[in-house]
Amino acid sequence: MLLFTTARELVTNVVKHANARRLDLRLSLRGDRAVLVVADDGVGLADGVLATRLAEGHIGLESYRVRLEAADGHLSLVPGPTGGTVATVDVPVESPVAAALA
């Protein structure tokens, strides 16, 4: 469920804030970890914008970062190679699920 809600938050942010024309979403299984990549060709994230938004009380992405880290996962947001933003989520998958998907 955490992976799904994180994906929904990332896609919603692209729609609301990125002014993107394209969004790519990829989900893969690497061993016992699920890796979600959400990339867009939008305006990108200006330096410090996430810290500023958090200080203003907008906790969306930061709350997901905390939840993912509590689940031994990770969220990274980096500029895309030609603009926009690439968000990568890496989170462990429970063994029975990983075995079923392998």
The residue among 84 and 55 whose pLDDT is bigger is 84
Q: Does pLDDT of 72 surpass 60?
A: yes
**Residue for token digits 């330096």?**
47
For the segment 74-88, what is each residue's pLDDT rounded down to a tens digit?
A: 999 999 998 899 999
Expressed in percent and rounded to 5, the helix, strand and coil fractions of the chain are: 40, 30, 25
Q: Tell me the residue range of the domain where 42 lies.
A: 2-101
**Percent of the chain whose predicted confidence (pLDDT) is above 70:** 80
The residue among 63 and 52 whose pLDDT is bigger is 63
Give CA–CA dist 45/34, Å, rounded.
25
Q: What is the pLDDT of residue 57?
A: 67
| pTM for the structure as a whole | 0.82
Helical segments of the chain, H only: 2-13, 49-55, 60-70, 95-101
Q: Does pLDDT of 96 surpass 60?
A: no
Specify burial of residue 56 (Cβ count, 10 A radius: 0-12, 13-18, 19+): exposed
Q: What is the CATH number of the domain that holds 93?
A: 3.30.565.10
| Number of domains comprising the chain | 1
Q: How many residues does the chain have?
A: 102
Q: What is the pLDDT of residue 52?
A: 65
Mean pLDDT along residues 13-18? 92
Dihedral angle at the C-alpha atoms of 31, 22, 84, 24, nearest 10 degrees?
A: 0
